[in-house]
Homo-oligomer: A and B are copies of this chain.
């Protein structure tokens, strides 16, 4: 039997190299979808650390942990934070000892904060600690904090004045009226080790469906000098707002309180054409596609709500298809 080789060389499909920006739940889900498709060397996830804070004397990085737990298959699928199969033995005793209980820390989750705090005190960087934790949790893709320097999101509210983010988000359950945001320390915060290299080598940037104000903006502020150099040239965002509502969290409420009608279009406008090449809207918002197009941003319409693991992979696939039109 003879093999007849094809006359033309075969073009082997090489997936694009992606840097994804993510906050908590929604961002973690799309990041997980991308990780299901892309090989480890083709995906770096850069995570917001503006939500980080110290509680019970421990350094807590809520968004970083949500992304890591999600990719490791350790996340609690019901709450959007913390670990699955969690127990609360430490918490019950802390309550008995009079500790603050407005931020719930489960036993499994606590180990993460305890070991991170110990290593940070020993001078190890957050990115190095995260790299090691990921390896131990079996995560093969790269997850990086946006910076190794502390950045603290402050929410300016009508009722309480300035509130540290978790005070606003968890303690006050997002109830205070928002007037603006401030990212303490962001001027001095340089991108974490590995962030610059990942962006310079990436074919495209994906802005996951996380809160634009408090999850994505801090990351964009940190990496803006890199983006200003024009790399990567393809940049796509997925709307965290569907039908005028945030899938989870206070994004829509924030838009409203800042005097902007919340919608996918408002998100596209928030990021703007200077930043974005393409924008993914939910099919229920397909009537906004023309308005996005009018902004000078290429719209793509698909089902963006991620209820299952398959939904995550499908949305990631759709995002990659959009990107491949430009790469």
Chain A interfacial positions (CB closer than 8 Å to B): 56-58, 87, 89-94, 96-99, 107-108, 110-112, 114-115, 117-118, 121, 132-133, 136-137
Contact = CB atoms under 8 A, between A and B. Distances in A.
A106 to B, nearest CB: 8
B118 A99 contact: yes
A81 to B, nearest CB: 16
A94 B133 CA distance: 11
A274 to B, nearest CB: 41
A111 B87 contact: no
B90 A114 contact: yes
B136 A111 contact: no
Contacts of A92: 111
Q: List the 3 closest pairs (A to B, CB-CB), nearest first.
A: A93-B111, A89-B107, A57-B118
Given A87-B107, A90-B111, A112-B93, A136 B56 contact: no
Nearest to A57: B118
Nearest to A87: B89
Given A87-B87, A133-B97, A57 B111 contact: no
B93 A108 contact: yes
Question: For A89, A98, A137, which residue has the most chain B Cβ atoms within 10 angstroms?
Answer: A89
A79 to B, nearest CB: 17
A99 B108 CA distance: 14
